Amino acid sequence: MNELKSTSFFKRHQGRILLVVSVITRATVLSLLCLFAIWTEYLNLKVAYNHPRLVELSSGKMMRLFYEYSDRFFSMFGDPIEVMQTNGGMTWSIRIMGVPFTDPIAALSLVVKNHELPLGFMLGLIIPLGIALVFGRLFCSYICPASLVFFTISRLRRLLKRFFYLPEFNINRGFAWGMLTGGLLIALLYGHGVWTLLLPYFAIGQTIFHGIAFGALSASLGTVVIFAMIDLLLGHQFTCRYICPTGRLLGVIGRKSLVSVNRNASQCLDQCQMCNQICPLQAMPKQDHLMDCSLCGECLTICPTNCLTIGLKRK
């Protein structure tokens, strides 16, 4: 009986639970990027001095404490230098406990620019592409650090719309393919640095790394601000819907994902369009058109009949 009650509770509140989880996971990714930037300094001190007293003489007592705590933490997993070398990076290419993760855009850019894809980058594609094939655009709602910024801005935008007029612009979704094509062309001619200007999550990662590791502002901070203003002024999560090429690519890869939003048509109200209107990526649960669905759960929170659930796709 208790099990039935807990199952019923989860079904009723599945959307809210998923929203909370998505905020926590994206905040964790942001924290991880910050930690990797901080631990870069630890690795430099470890290689240069390898002794707390020498670190203190070189960089002060606070840095010594940071060094000692980091040293104890990494020593739990083995040799600190080896552990650090198996963890690190940014969203472009990152390693966690030695497991590589490669941005699909990074892989495409390397192929276009260098006409080859190193084995490490190739192996790093396995998990991201596997996630897309099973869960669709899950990256956009549970991993992408930039989408947490846009998620927050969307809430601010809803609040401001009570007092001010803010338009909702719609453009052709093919614009993201133009961003991808243009970015690859510029990468071919001038290098991969162009992606810090075109990929919001990459710009955030670069900004964090420069700010923490080097104590300097990165030009990519301007990119973050521009995308934030676009989202605030032009439309609900405008960047994720129309601009980000990664989201568009993952949407196509995961168009036949195994997990999706399922609709009970017998309970769905004919005139209701609330799920379509609230979807941050303009998927259309009402019409069972879910290519861009990121499983964020927002449509579940607003459905008046609870006819939407997330699970294995029904045939």
Q: What are the DSSP calls for 238-303, one per residue?
A: HIIIII-HHHHHHHHHTTT-SEEEEE-TTTS-TT--HHHHH-TT--BGGGTB-TT-----HHHHH-
Nearest residue to 101 (alpha-carbon basis) of 129, 134, 78, 70: 129
CATH of range 258-312; options 1.20.1070, 3.40.50, 3.30.160, 3.30.70: 3.30.70
Instruction: Report the pLDDT value the prediction gives residue 11, as an integer from 0 to 100.
Output: 62
Percent helix, strand, coil in the chain, to 5, is 65, 5, 30
| Residue type at position 157 | R
Residue found under tokens 């470890």: 46
Instruction: Tell me the pLDDT tens digit for each residue of 183-231.
Output: 999 999 998 889 988 999 999 988 888 888 777 777 888 999 999 999 9
**Domain extents in the chain:** 86-255, 258-312
From 209, 182, 212, select the one nearest 198 (Cα to Cα): 182
Q: Look up the pTM and report it.
A: 0.86
* 12-63 residue pLDDT tens: 688 899 999 999 999 999 998 888 888 888 888 888 888 888 888 888 888 8
Task: Please report the pLDDT score of residue 171 as a whole number.
Answer: 92
Find the mean pLDDT for residues 115-144.
91
Q: What is the predicted pLDDT for the residue at 141?
A: 93
